[in-house]
Amino acid sequence: VSKFLSTILYPLSSFHYPLFHYSLLISPACPCYLALFLLGLLLMFPFVDKTELVKAGRGKLPVDVLFKNARVVNVFSGEIEKKDVAVYKGFVVGFGTYRAKKTIDLKNRLLMPGLVEGHIHIESSMLEIREFVKATLPYGTTAVVCDPHEIANVLGLEGITYMLQSAKYEPMDIYFTLPSTVPATELETSGAKLSAVDLMPYLTQKWVVGLGEVMNVPGVLSLEKDIFDKLKIFSESVIEGHAPGLRGKDLYAYLSAGIRSDHESFTKEEAIEKVSAGMTVMIREGSVAKNLQTLAPVVNYKNHTNFCLVSDDRNPIDLVEKGHLDYTIRKAIKLGIHPVLAIKMATINPARHFGLKQTGAIAPGYFADFVVISNLKEFKVLEVYKRGRLVAKNGKVVNVKFPPSVPVRSSINVRWLKPEDFYLPAKSEKINLMELVPNQLITKKRIVNAKIQDGKAVSDIKRDILKIVVVERHRASGNIAQGFVRGFGLQKGAIASSVSHDSHNIVCVGCDDESIFQAVLSIIKAGGGICCVKGKKVEILPLPVAGLMSNKSLDFVYKKLKKLQKFAKSLGVKVEEPFMILSFLALPVIPELKITDRGLVNVEKAKFEDVFV
């Protein structure tokens, strides 16, 4: 009875303020919550009387704020128009002369819609939602569609609920697509397994806008029941895709399942084919995967409405030093995309794709989410307004009170480890090797000679061939997989992380077995994190929230991560984002060769391969 009632009452007992998200998470097992349920039903009705908006739009009521002397970026006409913008109860109600309680003179500066992030995993910022908002709001981001796929793979429904609760009361609209693939594949051990039935109670939540990236492409093409159950219950929502390299009839079949977007296009030809077939192509410019330079020439006036600018994964260093979507827009403009088209790709295009009907434009009936910028060339964000209220100025959040953190349980569960657990007896003289591809998530498969000492395969620093291990951390199964990777440049010590997509087991690359053992041990003791080890010296950023996020401030995480990157470079690391690159080497859905806690994976064949040839 409790399960049945929770399925019905939980979605019905939720409501949505025009400005912030609220939720009544009801446990029907306790009768005293009935009153809260009834209150939730009452609060489902809109707070803003639209008849008042009509009166204000006609000038019958004084508006709350009149933004005067603005040069408005019109994402519908593609023009920049000089006019005054009237705001009432957080909505744009008209243009021109109005009686106003408050007037803000923009002095001929550019006024554009708030930026809309169409695809990001907030966990990749290593920040709790509160700190993520502090990091991105000053750059003009006023709405985010995030996929809590990472934390769901660690904590399951508990992780999704944690993210939903953390998104309450924030000065940013945070929407969710529910993770479609937990675990991502059967080739790894994750902390949870979510079926279609598990996701159903969240389906009617107003801040849940669809199904997250469907990474199990083989499952779709082979008609697996589990994935089709999810596609069926989300058939009336937006279904996000993840299909690197998918072309031809397999692409058509994938689209026929109801999937409508993709952020994994690596070539111009691939992007053109996907757009022509009806897909929304999300051009990703993250901290590791950067596709904008390759795909920018594809965007033009005829097809630009089918493109969005997204981040996917963005680390705290890039957020502090470069920005968020504002940085991506600046780069898009430099690469030749018309400024207004670039703005549309980060405002109205993602808003329309996800059905956010009152977001992404400055027009009557739309939320008064504004960004004031200097000019289109520099694209420097000066002020940010949320529902007509100033929330950020000159790179700092203002006039905002943030809610406290939401508690969450520990997520590190590893059996007792010994140094010999990391020895790798040699079976032959040749090994399968993962080779990094610069600025991409893909790797190349190579066959090379192994370095063998005392009957064990070890790292070969001279040839930049390093041992990589993955330790299962959810169920104390004792799974430890070992392999080799080329491209890091590490000369001594080891680096390790409890962030490893998608199941987020502990992954480590090192020059010797002892350093690897010490690095993994440091991660376990910290309850999750990323670290560098050189002898007895250990530098670590603890990530106690699911082993993915810090419970500290943005400033703390930024400084600690900078220190770690400096330490990593002193160890010889030559790649720009060693920890993020390391985290993707355990992702068995992106070609060619990856490694999970269960072994080395040939992604194209979806099968395990022996390390030794």
User: Do the beta carbons of residue 147 and residue 177 sit within 8 Å?
Assistant: yes
CA distances (Å), origin 312, targets 283, 355, 561: 10, 20, 19
Looking at beta carbons, which pairs linking 283-286 to residues 24 or more positions away fall under 8 Å?
Answer: 283/307, 283/308, 283/309, 283/310, 283/345, 284/119, 284/310, 284/311, 284/312, 285/309, 285/310, 285/311, 285/327, 285/328, 285/331, 286/124, 286/311, 286/312, 286/313, 286/314
What whole-number distance in Å separates Cα of residue 538 and Cα of residue 525? 12
Query: Which band of pLDDT confidence, cut at 50, 70 and 90, is reported for residue 35?
Result: low
Judge whether residue 22 has pLDDT over 50: no
Placement of tokens 């979510």 in the chain: 194
| Averaged pLDDT for residues 83-92 | 97
Q: pLDDT for 236-269, tens place per residue?
A: 999 999 998 899 999 999 999 999 999 999 899 9
Judge whether residue 21 has pLDDT over 70: no
Q: What is the pLDDT of residue 289?
A: 84
Mean pLDDT of the chain: 91
Q: What is the pLDDT of residue 381?
A: 97
Taking the CA atoms of the chain, what radius of gyration do you get in angstroms?
A: 25
Q: What is the pLDDT of residue 47?
A: 56
**357: Cβ contacts below 8 Å, ≥ 6 apart:** 351
Phi first, then psi, for residue 520 (nearest 5°) are -65, -40
Residue 68: count of CB within 10 angstroms of its CB? 17
**429 preceded by cis ω (within 30°)?**
no
**235: Cβ contacts below 8 Å, ≥ 6 apart:** 258
Query: Which band of pLDDT confidence, cut at 50, 70 and 90, is reported for residue 28?
Result: very low
Judge whether residue 234 has pLDDT over 90: yes
Rounded to the nearest 5 degrees, what angle is found at the Cα of 94, between the Cα atoms of 93 and 100? 80
Q: What is the pLDDT of residue 405?
A: 86
Q: pLDDT for 485-541, tens place per residue?
A: 999 999 999 999 999 988 999 999 999 999 999 999 999 999 999 999 999 899 999
DSSP 417: -
| Averaged pLDDT for residues 376-404 | 94
User: Do the beta carbons of residue 458 and residue 467 sit within 8 Å?
Assistant: yes
**In this prediction, what percent of the chain has a pLDDT beyond 90?**
82
What whole-number distance in Å separates Cα of residue 34 and Cα of residue 349? 41
CA distances (Å), origin 401, targets 29, 367, 385: 34, 21, 15
Residue 376: closest CA among 172, 111, 564, 556: 111
| DSSP-based helix, strand, coil % in the chain, nearest 5 | 30, 30, 40
| Averaged pLDDT for residues 376-401 | 94
Q: Which two tokens stand for residue 488?
A: 């890091």
| Averaged pLDDT for residues 175-196 | 92
| Averaged pLDDT for residues 115-132 | 96
Please, where are the H alpha helices in 122-267? 129-136, 149-155, 157-166, 196-199, 217-221, 225-233, 248-256
**6: Cβ contacts below 8 Å, ≥ 6 apart:** 26, 27, 28, 201
Of the listed ranges 147-151, 423-427, 577-581, the one predicted with least confidence: 577-581
Q: What is the pLDDT of residue 372?
A: 98
Phi first, then psi, for residue 31 (nearest 5°) are -60, -25
Write out the DSSP string of 264-327.
---SHHHHHHHHHTTPEEEEEB-SS-B-HHHHGGG--TTTGGGEEEE-B---HHHHHHT-SHHH
What whole-number distance in Å separates Cα of residue 252 and Cα of residue 255? 5
Residue 505: closest CA among 537, 478, 487: 478
Q: What is the pLDDT of residue 46?
A: 44
Q: pLDDT for 304-336, tens place per residue?
A: 999 999 999 999 999 999 999 999 999 999 999
How far does Cα 302 stand from its chain's mean position? 29
User: Do the beta carbons of residue 292 and residue 283 sit within 8 Å?
Assistant: yes
Q: What is the pLDDT of residue 2?
A: 45
Query: Which band of pLDDT confidence, cut at 50, 70 and 90, is reported for residue 14?
Result: very low
What are 434's strand-pairing partners? 445, 485
Q: pLDDT for 454-475, tens place per residue?
A: 999 999 999 999 999 999 999 9
Q: pLDDT for 573-605, tens place per residue?
A: 998 889 989 999 998 888 899 999 999 999 988
What whole-number distance in Å separates Cα of residue 268 and Cα of residue 274? 10
Q: What is the pLDDT of residue 112?
A: 98
Judge whether residue 1 has pLDDT over 80: no
Query: Which band of pLDDT confidence, cut at 50, 70 and 90, is reported for residue 101?
Result: very high
Query: Which band of pLDDT confidence, cut at 50, 70 and 90, is reported for residue 441?
Result: confident
Rounded to the nearest 5 degrees, what angle is found at the Cα of 432, between the Cα atoms of 497 and 459? 55
Q: pLDDT for 521-533, tens place per residue?
A: 999 999 999 999 9
Judge whether residue 200 has pLDDT over 70: yes
Q: What is the pLDDT of residue 570?
A: 95
User: Do the beta carbons of residue 58 and residue 381 sit within 8 Å?
Assistant: no
Write out the DSSP string of 502-560.
TT--EEEEESSHHHHHHHHHHHHHTTSEEEEEETTEEEEEE-TBTTTBBSS-HHHHHHH
